[in-house]
Amino acid sequence: MKPFESFMVSELEEYILYRASIGFTDRSLKSHLHTFDQYIREKEADWDTFTPAFFLKVRKELKGDPRTVNGILSAIRGFFQYLLRKGIYEENPLQDIPPHAENAYIPFVFSPHEIEQMLRFIQKRLRKTSEHFLKDLSVYVAALLLARCGMRISEPLRLRLEHYRSKEGTIYIEKTKFSKDRLIPVPITVINEISNYLSVRNALMGKDQNPYLFPGTNSKRLSINSIYPVFHQAVKDIGIDQPRRIIANTTFGAPTVHSLRHSFAINTLKRINDQKKSPQNALPILAAYMGHTKYRYTAVYLKVLDAEHRQGLVDFAISRQEEI
């Protein structure tokens, strides 16, 4: 990402470093502040420009959907709060700037059967050549961890060999989205797949010193871009490829890699409910397993019961679209 260019270069860079020093690794922060940096450079702003009226204009003129614009405004608000603490400003000019109203968002949810189908199709497409087999098998096992353990896409790819503890049947996930480590138990079916994968890895790589569980080239890890095309092809193969839909004030998400994480949470809660147990009581354990820093991040999954319920909401919204 190119450097900041406005008159606030020093303050913006200092703020980014400050956030990193206290453990925040929000990758969108720098992008949002770059948008602000470019805007104030184009407007030839100076220290006296930043009034509430100016930021109401920013709110109106920024391009993007409401959620994106709100994210940018939130990043700017945090930056000015930092300047306030440093004594550069006496009050935060964004403190009373309201956010845009956002659409309700309902993620795509894979049913357990669709997940089985998807994994089976990925497995079927493994190329048997010596050049491709290990990479394709790595992608399959990484997808398995996303689907069966609810990991974020970066998490399996960042795993080192020592992070998988075969004797315990656990995986240690280090410094994730909120710099929060966690140790998770792995389902026995996944343990069996990992054991098979490691046998193949050892046979094909020999004494190669690549430290990552899923190796890329030149001692690097498997690229995130190796996952996306395989995932999207599998979604097409099983016939559930569909676009994102915006109907009235609700956005229905398309199937993405991150949908596997949503689906893991929703299907886990449904399974608990089907056993006549309380999904609400299971939330603290599920939150810890998924690495959520706040309980409410996990609680939102109670709003979507399962894939069938989610599709019912889509169908209902489409059927009422003319009335809406």
What is the DSSP code string of 153-219?
A: THHHHH-BGGGEETTTTEEEE-S-TTS--EEEE--HHHHHHHHHHHHHHHHHHTT----BSSB-STT
Amino acid identity of residue 257, one-letter, is V
CATH 1.10.443.10 segments of the chain: 113-237
Cα–Cα distance for residue pair 208/213, rounded to 1 Å = 12
Q: What is the sign of the dihedral through the CA atoms of 242, 248, 251 and 252?
A: negative
Joined together, the tokens standing for residue 266 give 């929703």
For residues 262 and 109, is the Cβ–Cβ distance under 8 A? Answer: yes
Closest to 239 measured CA to CA, from 121, 157, 62, 100: 121
Instruction: Name the class of domain 9-98.
Output: mainly alpha
Amino acid identity of residue 292, one-letter, is H
Amino acid identity of residue 226, one-letter, is S
Cα–Cα distance for residue pair 78/88, rounded to 1 Å = 14
For residues 83 and 10, is the Cβ–Cβ distance under 8 A? Answer: no
Give the model's pLDDT for residue 320. Answer: 45
Please report how the helices 259-274 and 307-319 are oriented relative to each other, as an axis angle in degrees rounded to 10.
110
Please report how the helices 133-149 and 188-205 are oriented relative to each other, as an axis angle in degrees rounded to 10.
160
Joined together, the tokens standing for residue 207 give 């004494």
CATH 1.10.150.130 segments of the chain: 9-98
Amino acid identity of residue 324, one-letter, is I
Q: What count of other Cβ atoms lies within 10 Å of the Cβ of residue 212?
A: 18
Length of the chain: 324
Pairing of β 250-252 and β 104-106: parallel
pTM for the model stands at: 0.76
For residues 6 and 40, is the Cβ–Cβ distance under 8 A? Answer: yes
Joined together, the tokens standing for residue 208 give 């190669």
Kindly give the confidence (pLDDT) of every residue in the chain, 324 residues in length, as a single tens digit, with 9 standing for 90 and above: 789 999 999 999 999 999 988 777 677 899 999 999 999 999 999 999 999 999 999 999 999 888 899 999 999 999 999 999 999 999 999 999 999 988 777 889 999 999 999 999 999 999 999 899 999 999 999 999 999 999 999 999 999 999 999 999 999 998 776 667 899 999 999 999 999 999 999 999 988 889 999 999 888 999 999 999 999 999 999 999 999 888 777 888 899 999 999 999 989 989 998 899 988 888 889 988 988 877 677 877 776 665 566 666 656 455 544 443
Query: What pairs with residue 182 in β-bridges?
Result: 173
Instruction: Name the class of domain 113-237.
Output: mainly alpha
Cα–Cα distance for residue pair 110/115, rounded to 1 Å = 6
Closest to 232 measured CA to CA, from 264, 211, 259: 259
Joined together, the tokens standing for residue 243 give 């676009």
Joined together, the tokens standing for residue 216 give 């890329």
